[in-house]
Amino acid sequence: MTAVPRVTVGVPVHDGERYLEAALAALQAQDYDDFAVVVADNASTDATGEIARAVAGADPRFTYVRHPRNVGGAHNSNWLLERARSPLFAWAYHDDVRDPAWLRRSVEVLDAAGEEAVCAVPRVVLVDAGGREVGEHGDGDPDLASGLTSTAPHRRLGAVLRRMVGQVQFGVVRTAVLRAVGGVTVSTAGEMVLPAALAMRGRLPVVPERGLLGIRQHPERHGGDRASEAAWVDPDRPRTLFPYSRSTSLLLRAVAAAPLDPAERARCAATVLGRWTVPGWRTIAGDVARLPWDAGLVRSGR
């Protein structure tokens, strides 16, 4: 491995003892050599620290850092990005499953696509708590791949929003571009902002092999409900009014920040409204219905 590796893999984690050892072992088993891993422990109260320290002590590619308090998953993810010195970066969450070829094939696909490509997007299978496959994302068809690699930013944006290609954030990304779009959005309902922002910055080639990334479905996974999503984003603000309705304003803000000419910016704004806001009108109704709970006026939504 060189002094500055080609890829930095950031592992943000809080109380991840159940799956962290397997996740780190999968990174150790990658058949690509030029990478480093930084584990950022978000003030865990379980054995996360012991697991990560043991791996870092035995493998010089791994570094372990512990925050003195829980700064939230979004801030922790961005902390890792800010400190990366490599030209490529990827997040690897503690409960996901990675094939040994994940990193090599992602770098190969990104290199082959040229400088206009900003992220190699992995295809995703869903696995249960025991690692058994239970489903997949519908991300293998040629139409999606064509949309994500279109020369037109609004067409790439439309493909991301129409198919909710959230796994863009699990890909290998050019570090400078990832910093330029601000990393992970520190807001509920912000999970599609980063993929959308990257789509407006460059092409998103799909790594063709199926199953290089497995996203684990389990009861402790953040985002399973409104409260857990808000707590992961920012534990100091566990309640947010109209959390999902704000996604439109977040996406339009990303459009405004993208380096686009006026005509293409208008097309991208129209794409947000047509591909996201109108089809998702029920989220506004849901936020209105949930307002008493989100405002803390009642204890439970049940």
Tens digits of per-residue pLDDT, 237-251?
A: 655 666 667 889 999
Q: Per-residue confidence at 110, pLDDT binned at 50, 70, 90?
A: very high
**Residue 162 phi, psi (nearest 5):** -65, -40
Q: Please indicate, yes or no, whether residues 96 and 170 belong to a single structural domain of this protein.
A: yes
* Residue 31, CA distances (Å) to 7, 96, 210 in order: 13, 18, 17
DSSP secondary structure letters along 140-204 = -SHHHHHHHT-SSHHHHHHHHHHHT-GGGGGSEEEHHHHHHTTSS-SSTT-TTHHHHHHHTTSB-
Q: Please indicate, yes or no, whether residues 188 and 230 belong to a single structural domain of this protein.
A: no
Q: Please indicate, yes or no, whether residues 107 and 241 belong to a single structural domain of this protein.
A: no
Q: Per-residue confidence at 187, pLDDT binned at 50, 70, 90?
A: confident
What is the pLDDT at residue 211? 86
Domain end point (choices 216, 238, 266): 216
Look over the chain and give the mean of its residue pLDDT values, rounded to a whole number.
88
What is the pLDDT at residue 301? 44
Range of the domain at 22: 7-216
Distance CA 169, CA 163 (A): 14
Residue 299: inside a domain, yes or no? no
Q: Which of 42-46, 160-164, 178-182, 223-227 has the lowest mean pLDDT?
A: 223-227
Q: Please indicate, yes or no, whether residues 211 and 230 belong to a single structural domain of this protein.
A: no
Q: Please indicate, yes or no, whether residues 32 and 50 belong to a single structural domain of this protein.
A: yes
What is the pLDDT at residue 279? 84
Query: Cβ(54)–Cβ(23) under 8 Å?
Result: no
Specify the amino acid at residue 231.
A
Distance CA 211, CA 136 (A): 9
Q: Which of 63-72, 272-281, 282-291 has the lowest mean pLDDT?
A: 282-291
Decide if pLDDT at 1 tops 80: no
What is the arithmetic mean of pLDDT over 135-161? 92
What is the arithmetic mean of pLDDT over 83-100? 95
Residue 40's CATH number: 3.90.550.10
Residue 1: inside a domain, yes or no? no
Query: Cβ(111)–Cβ(30) under 8 Å?
Result: no
Task: State the total domains in the chain.
Answer: 2
Q: Please indicate, yes or no, whether residues 190 and 246 belong to a single structural domain of this protein.
A: no
Which value, to the nearest 10 degrees, does the dihedral of the CA atoms of residues 106, 107, 108, 110 take? Answer: 90
Residue 50: inside a domain, yes or no? yes
Residue 246: inside a domain, yes or no? yes
Domain end point (choices 216, 250, 271): 216
Residue 2: inside a domain, yes or no? no
Q: Name the 3-class secondary structure at 100.
A: coil
Distance CA 12, CA 4 (A): 21
Q: Please indicate, yes or no, whether residues 57 and 121 belong to a single structural domain of this protein.
A: yes
Residue 302: inside a domain, yes or no? no
Residue 221: inside a domain, yes or no? no
Domain end point (choices 162, 190, 216): 216
Round to the nearest angstrom and report the end-to-end CA distance of the chain.
53
Q: Please indicate, yes or no, whether residues 209 and 103 belong to a single structural domain of this protein.
A: yes
Q: Please indicate, yes or no, whether residues 204 and 253 belong to a single structural domain of this protein.
A: no
Q: Is 131 exposed, middle or buried (0-12, 13-18, 19+ CB in 10 A)?
A: exposed
* Residue 116, CA distances (Å) to 104, 166, 174, 201, 251 in order: 19, 20, 10, 8, 22
Q: Which of 264-268, 288-292, 295-299 has the lowest mean pLDDT?
A: 295-299
Distance CA 183, CA 197 (A): 10
Residue 153: inside a domain, yes or no? yes
Q: Please indicate, yes or no, whether residues 97 and 236 belong to a single structural domain of this protein.
A: no
Distance CA 84, CA 88 (A): 9
Q: Please indicate, yes or no, whether residues 154 and 273 belong to a single structural domain of this protein.
A: no
Q: Please indicate, yes or no, whether residues 49 and 185 belong to a single structural domain of this protein.
A: yes
